[in-house]
Amino acid sequence: MAAFGKVCVIGAGTMGAGIAAQVANAGVKVLLLDIVRDPADRNGVARGAVERLSKANPAAFMSKAAAKLVEVGNTEDDLARVAECDWVIEAIVEKIELKHALYEKLEAVRRSGTAVSSNTSTIPLEKLIEGRSADFRRDFLITHFFNPPRYMRLIEVVAGPESDAALVAAVSDFADRAMGKSVVKAKDTPGFIANRVGTFWLQSAINAAFDLGLSVEDADAIGGKPMGVPKTGIFGLVDLVGIDLMPYLKASLSMTLPKDDPYQAIAKDHPLIMKMIHDGFTGRKGKGGFYRINKEAGKQKEAIDLATGEYRKAARPVSIAAKDLPSLLATKGKVGAYAWAILGPTLAYAAGLVGEVADDVLAIDTAMKLGYNWKFGPFELIDRIGVVDFAKRLEEDGMAVPPIVALGKPFYRVEGGQRQFLGLDGDYHAIVRPEGVLLLEDIKAASKPLLKNGSAALWDVGDGVVALEFTGKMNALDASVMELIGQAIPLVAAKYKALIVYNEGSNFSAGANLGLAIFAINIAAWGEVEKLVAGGQQAYKALKYAPFPVVSAPFGMALGGGCEIVLNADAVQAHAESYIGLVECGVGLIPGWGGCGEMIERFLHAPGMPRGPMPAVAKAFETISTATVSKSAANAKEVGYLRPSDGITMNRDRLLADAKAKALSLVEGYKPPEPPTFRLPGAGGRAALDLAVQGFRARGLATPYDEVVAGRLAHVLTGGDADLVDTLSEQDLLALERGQFVELVRDPRTMARIETMLATGKPLRN
Ligand code: NAI
């Protein structure tokens, strides 16, 4: 991996500050510079930006340690310090004369061979390097991040004909492995890939909503989820990014694109939208947008009437019956008409850009999925419509059929277990993943599972390693998952070397299936509940003590039982964006699949933990009773869910390969862990914990039922009726956990919490 010791970011605005934070999240020092606005406080602009970053929501920094890696300065006093840096990222305002002036100064102070890149969204590389030396031009490239830089996975990299290939590769590698971005190579054309297609898409959707007389609610209901676009839809998305960005993007693209580009024909400043911007209605950051929450009308959600420009109460949108894209497009009336008015022109436009903005369909699909959060890229969408039907409909509407569509071949296929894409040449080409990228998606296309049931599957991921995949809704865990674990263990022991727990859903796991729990509670099937708890405990401990290494690879949410399978693994390789937590108390329960003992164990061995059981027990109690969820994998180490030795992978696409490597590294001489024994503080310790909870209650921070739940948790964590002189086995602790769990399940207040969580996704504070 490219070893960059320090990176300089110039321009501490929305993007520069966010990029600086992500460099810091990668564990690399960063120097963040901006102009001097106040001579008495020369670094004020950059420092203010870092202060905002520390409070940003969603968080910009992954850990407290990361925040400390950013040093601030200004371009008048500190520009020469770019000589300390391996990469200089320019993220100043989008004005070419300012960028030119900065590069001229940089030219004088930077070390030759230091990469310089611009985060420009619209200015071609060719224009940026005008007037610069050959040396500078060789070291220059465009690295286009998306907002917010921590969370948007895409980076478009544009190299010029004079750019040094090795330097471009080094920057790309750093962006990929260290910063976790998916690098898409774009050509030096206006708007590159994602904004070129994305702006066309937004503009056609907005135009069509006006033309067809749709409400913004209906437009978003049709143009959002049914197309695999974030559920904000189009108007909701524009509210989010800022309505004022639209005329700006429009102006820039209209100016730079050739006159015959199809975008020119649809580019339009709608008077209503221009008026909204003029009056400060720029979206969520302004006084409101296409939607607003009217605080004067009791937080009423309102939407703007596109015909009159007046706000009115938001209405329930049209319901979409179509199950797939062909039926959506075939729907009579406004629904089908609007769907086609968006997809027809947008997908045709994207298809016409293959070869111009990127080499292949794969790059365009990846850019739209990772830069605009589309679930499917434009070519995946055409495949869903059916390429022949799509071409036919374009023809019927008198629209030009792009050559790659006219080929009439699906854009993707699987041939001999290998996923392939269609090239401009009309041939299929293998999708080749970068070295170190392994996707279960590819393995699944090429093979059959070793084991499978309704909630889980087991896959051979090569080199003697298998992956346990959860497959239920939200990857929820139930008895079938535990059953599959039971079947997997002898199979792996006999024929394989190691097991990893991994999947490619939206989240690792939302935890135990609460819907099933409710069902059992409703019919008072207490025996069933206890069986489910015991079954989970057994399955997880069987994994822990299996004769082969087990590595959990969480990403996204790993909650409740999803967290406990992480805790029970020999080692963890986590994606940087892992939100791990024992959240059971929120629904009136306590961890029931071994989470209590595992947390005590972790804290007993945590670096710097004072001796004796009470500090570790108190820490476990605090973490679990407050349903703490980590805000990143790095934060999970700070919180205590992960150990210092657990690995973190920045790039989501590299998680499986890294987890596999970690598992294989444990194979030689592997011995399962010795089951721990516990000496816990007993009644004395419990009294202290209960007292703390009473304090929280007195201050209004805990509800009456919180106190009950916390009391039962304290009972388990302090060892129940045992005392400091007694030694408890892991099994004793599991029995305690099970006993208290079942008591809580029987309490109607727990039932009320679970029902509220299932119905609203929010905790009930009873
Ligand atoms: P911004 O307006 O939030 O921040 C620009 C910053 O640059 C300000 O803090 C300003 O004081 C500073 N600045 C201006 N001239 C400077 C100079 N000569 N030297 C040092 N600092 C200077 O702008 P934003 O949105 O962060 O955009 C920055 C760049 O990133 C632009 O090129 C923009 O096109 C691009 N971009 C913006 C995206 C977005 O969503 N906002 C997305 C991707 C790229």
Average pLDDT estimate for 657-680: 97
Count of CB atoms within 10 A of residue 521's CB? 21
Sheet holding 291-294, edge to edge: 291-294, 300-304, 311-313
Q: What is the residue-averaged pLDDT of the chain? A: 96
Amino acid at 336: G
Ligand 1: does its nearest atom lie under 6 Å from the Cβ of 93?
Answer: yes
Average pLDDT estimate for 103-124: 95
Indicate the length of the chain as a whole number: 766
Average pLDDT estimate for 74-102: 97
Cα separation values, 220 from 208, 320, 350, Å:
12, 11, 21
Strands (E), 41-188: 70-74, 87-90, 115-118, 140-145, 154-159, 182-185
pTM for the predicted model, two decimal places: 0.95
Tell how far the Cα of 247 is from the centroid of ligand 1, in angstroms: 17
Of the pLDDT bands very low, low, confident and very high (cuts 50, 70, 90), residue 104 is very high
Average pLDDT estimate for 224-237: 94
Asked if 523 and 498 touch (Cβ cutoff 8 Å), the reply is no
Tell how far the Cα of 122 is from the centroid of ligand 1, in angstroms: 12
Ligand 1: does its nearest atom lie under 6 Å from the Cβ of 102?
Answer: yes
Asked whether residue 736 carries a pLDDT value surpassing 60, the answer given is yes
Ligand 1, atom 3, residue with closest C-alpha? 13
Residue range(s) in the chain whose domain bears CATH number 3.40.50.720 = 6-185
Tell how far the Cα of 40 is from the centroid of ligand 1, in angstroms: 23
Residue 580 is classified by DSSP as: E
Asked whether residue 355 carries a pLDDT value surpassing 90, the answer given is yes
Tens of pLDDT, residue by residue over 486-529, are 999 999 999 999 999 999 999 999 999 988 888 888 888 888 88
Average pLDDT estimate for 44-52: 97
Ligand 1: does its nearest atom lie under 6 Å from the Cβ of 386?
Answer: no
Residue 173: what pLDDT?
97
Residue 1: what pLDDT?
57
Ligand 1: does its nearest atom lie under 6 Å from the Cβ of 252?
Answer: no
Asked whether residue 363 carries a pLDDT value surpassing 80, the answer given is yes
Tell how far the Cα of 90 is from the centroid of ligand 1, in angstroms: 8
Residue 142: what pLDDT?
98
Residue 526: what pLDDT?
87
Per DSSP bridges, beta strands 556-559 and 578-581 are: parallel
Burial of 596 (0-12, 13-18, 19+ CB in 10 A): buried
Nearest Cα residue to 616 out of 630, 638, 598, 601? 601
Tens of pLDDT, residue by residue over 275-288, are 999 999 999 989 99
Q: How far apart are CA 575 and CA 144, in angstroms?
A: 23
Residue 225: what pLDDT?
94
Ligand 1: does its nearest atom lie under 6 Å from the Cβ of 147?
Answer: yes
Strands (E), 599-650: 647-649
Tell how far the Cα of 13 is from the centroid of ligand 1, in angstroms: 5
Tell how far the Cα of 379 is from the centroid of ligand 1, in angstroms: 32
CA-CA-CA-CA torsion sign (433, 439, 445, 451): positive
Asked whether residue 2 carries a pLDDT value surpassing 80, the answer given is no
Average pLDDT estimate for 155-173: 97
Tens of pLDDT, residue by residue over 397-456, are 999 999 999 999 999 999 988 999 999 999 999 999 999 999 999 999 999 999 999 999
Full 3-state SS string of 432-452: CCCCCCCCHHHHHHHCCCCEE
Candidate of 14, 195, 256, 372 to mutate for ligand 1, largest count of ligand atoms within 8 Å of Cβ: 14
Q: How far apart are CA 476 and CA 656, in angstroms?
A: 20
Q: What is the third-level CATH fold of 440-583+629-673?
A: 2-enoyl-CoA Hydratase; Chain A, domain 1 (3.90.226)
- CATH code of 6-185, in short, is 3.40.50.720
Residue range(s) in the chain whose domain bears CATH number 1.10.1040.50 = 194-398
Ligand 1: does its nearest atom lie under 6 Å from the Cβ of 34?
Answer: yes
% of the chain exceeding 70 in pLDDT: 100
Candidate of 15, 38, 52, 202 to mutate for ligand 1, largest count of ligand atoms within 8 Å of Cβ: 15
Residue range(s) in the chain whose domain bears CATH number 3.90.226.10 = 440-583+629-673
Ligand 1: does its nearest atom lie under 6 Å from the Cβ of 191?
Answer: no
Ligand 1: does its nearest atom lie under 6 Å from the Cβ of 143?
Answer: no
Asked if 686 and 719 touch (Cβ cutoff 8 Å), the reply is no
Tell how far the Cα of 19 is from the centroid of ligand 1, in angstroms: 11
Tell how far the Cα of 18 is from the centroid of ligand 1, in angstroms: 11
Asked whether residue 632 carries a pLDDT value surpassing 60, the answer given is yes
Residue 120 is classified by DSSP as: -
Q: How far apart are CA 550 and CA 267, in angstroms?
A: 55
Tens of pLDDT, residue by residue over 330-345, are 999 999 999 999 999 9
Nearest Cα residue to 266 out of 312, 339, 210? 210
Cα separation values, 737 from 180, 543, 593, 691, Å:
39, 19, 8, 21
Extract the tokens encoding 579: 């939100």
Extract the tokens encoding 78: 């500190």
Ligand 1: does its nearest atom lie under 6 Å from the Cβ of 92?
Answer: yes
Residues 6 or more apart whose CB falls under 8 angstroms from that of 97 comprise none
Q: How far apart are CA 88 and CA 7, in angstroms?
A: 6
* CATH class entry, domain 194-398: mainly alpha
Ligand 1: does its nearest atom lie under 6 Å from the Cβ of 75?
Answer: yes
Asked if 553 and 572 touch (Cβ cutoff 8 Å), the reply is yes
